[in-house]
Structures are given as C-alpha cells and as structure tokens.
Chain A
Amino acid sequence: DAGVTQSPTHLIKTRGQQVTLRCSPKSGHDTVSWYQQALGQGPQFIFQYYEEEERQRGNFPDRFSGHQFPNYSSELNVNALLLGDSALYLCASRYWDRGLMGYTFGSGTRLTVV
C-alpha cells in the first residue's frame, strides 16, 4: 500500500512565476494538510482540506491556495513566487487509529525559487 505520494520531488522556479504541487493521500485517508519547512525550522501548517473544502488555514498569504479533488488528492498552488518561498513542502493525510488521530507524511517537494 502506497503511503502519501507527492510530485514533483524537486523543482526550480523563477521569482514571479506560479507553481503547482501535487499530493495523493494514503489509501483510505480523506483529509489532506500542507506544510512548509524552511531551512533550519520545523514544518509550518499552511492549510487543510476535507470534503473538497479548506477547513483551516495557517498564517500564509493568499498567494498560497489549494484544491482537493473528489478522489481526495490535493494541489497546492503558489502565485507570484518570492525567494522566501524556497522550502520543502510536505503533504500529510489524516487517519484515525483506535480513537487517536494521526498524520502520515509524504517525502515532500523541494521548491527552489531563483
């Protein structure tokens, strides 16, 4: 059973461009969250999608937007890229196990903005 898969693994974009990152949750998981990890920091919550709607959002500007599809997969879009958007972007899908809520993470997309 595949875990959370993310694509692409790496990409390089130019300032001002737009980027789309993709995530497929683990089979059976219906809720997807996105996190940004800048160098030397812990991951920071961007937003979460459930039933194709954004349910909660972290402290990120409107340039960051997302979408969830009927098959539960998700996209993260970033417009007007800034150098500071260079980071590892992680996707996580949520599960319940014996009453405990947990998150399974993908291995991330490394975005470099030049």
Chain B
Amino acid sequence: ILNVEQSPQSLHVQEGDSTNFTCSFPSSNFYALHWYRWETAKSPEALFVMTLNGDEKKKGRISATLNTKEGYSYLYIKGSQPEDSATYLCAFNNAGNMLTFGGGTRLMVKP
C-alpha cells in the first residue's frame, strides 16, 4: 500500500500572505508527482506534473519543487488571493496506471 501524505490538512491565510504545503510520498519506484487544484463542485485542475529530482515548476504565483530521493514536494503560493481558495491535491505515480492521492490541503484565503 502506497502512502502519500499532505500537510497541513487545512490552512487559513490572509490575502497577500505567501504560503506553502507539503506532499510526502514513497521514494522508491518513482515515476511522477502530480499537483491538482480543486474548487468545490468543479473538476480537479492539473497544476504540475513533475518527474525529475530537483525539478522546479512555476505557473503564475504558484510554484512547486520536487525531491524524489527523500520523497517530498512543496507547493508554494506567493501573495495569496481569495480566488486561490481551494483544495490542493498531490498524487504519486509509480509508473503503473494509477495515481495515489494524498488527502489534500484545504486552503482558505480571507480578503
């Protein structure tokens, strides 16, 4: 059984704050790590697919880093806005056909 954990479970920040959360995953048989942003009643939106150790990806104010040797990834949001409020999911792919998801981090940004 693959264990993917995300922390914190939930996070409240003020508009303008920068924040980050963590995804930990097995360090063996790594193929890819996916980050999704999921707003209530919508479909999960793919943010990043990361494959290389040391990889860093950026999309606007959101960026992510990857450490496959120690089995963790960080997601950073710079200058949080109310529209960033969502659940952020990471998913580990070990080259099989399945994604193993963490429990998600629920972010709430107060205006």
Contacts and interface: CB of A to CB of B under 8 A. Distances in A.
Interface of A: 3-4, 31, 33, 35, 40-45, 48, 50, 55-56, 58, 90, 92, 97, 100-108
A43 B93 CA distance: 13
Report whether over half of chain B's contact residues are helix, strand or loop; otherwise say mixed. loop
Nearest to A48: B97
A68 to B, nearest CB: 13
B46 A104 contact: yes
Contacts of A44: 101
**Which 4 pairs, one residue from A and one from B, show the smallest C-beta to C-beta distance?**
A42-B101, A45-B98, A56-B97, A107-B43
Nearest to A97: B49
Interface residues of B, number: 24
Contacts of B103: 40-42
B49 A43 contact: no
B45 to A, nearest CB: 8
B96 A56 contact: yes
Contacts of A33: 97-99
Nearest to B50: A100
B100 to A, nearest CB: 7
Contacts of B101: 35, 42-44
23 contacts: A3-B43, A42-B89, A42-B103, A42-B104, A43-B89, A43-B99, A45-B98, A45-B99, A45-B100, A48-B97, A56-B98, A58-B98, A90-B44, A92-B99, A101-B49, A101-B93, A102-B49, A103-B34, A103-B46, A105-B44, A106-B43, A107-B41, A108-B43
